[in-house]
Amino acid sequence: MHRLMHGFIRTVDGANRRVGRIVMYGIFMLMGVLLWSSVSKTFFVPSLWTLEMAQFLMVGYYVLGGPYSIQMGSNVRMDLLYGGWSARRKAWFDLITVCFLIFYLCVLLYGGISSTAYALGYFGSEPFTFFGGLLTGAEGVGHAERSSTAWRPYLWPIKAVMVLGLFLMLLQCLSELFKDVLRLRGETLDGEAT
> Contact 25/8 with Cβ under 8 angstroms?
no
pLDDT value of residue 194? 47
Q: Residue 112 falls within a domain, yes or no?
A: yes
Q: Residue 189 falls within a domain, yes or no?
A: no
Range of the domain at 104: 2-184
> Contact 66/169 with Cβ under 8 angstroms?
yes
* Interval 102-150: pLDDT, tens: 999 999 999 999 999 999 988 888 898 898 888 888 888 888 899 998 8
Quote the pTM value.
Answer: 0.89
Q: Please give the backbone phi and psi of residue 122, each rounded to the nearest 5 degrees, phi first.
A: -100, 125
Q: Residue 14 falls within a domain, yes or no?
A: yes
* Interval 143-152: pLDDT, tens: 889 999 888 9
DSSP 154: B
The number of folded domains in the chain is 1
Q: Residue 46 falls within a domain, yes or no?
A: yes
Q: What rounded mean pLDDT belongs to the chain?
A: 91
Q: Residue 193 falls within a domain, yes or no?
A: no
Q: Residue 194 falls within a domain, yes or no?
A: no
Q: Please give the backbone phi and psi of residue 186, each rounded to the nearest 5 degrees, phi first.
A: 85, 10
Q: Residue 190 falls within a domain, yes or no?
A: no
pLDDT category at 192 given cuts 50, 70, 90 is low
Q: Please give the backbone phi and psi of residue 154, each rounded to the nearest 5 degrees, phi first.
A: -70, 145
Q: How far apart are CA 44 and CA 185, in angstroms?
A: 64
> Contact 104/124 with Cβ under 8 angstroms?
no
SS3 content of the chain, % helix, strand, coil (to 5): 70, 0, 25
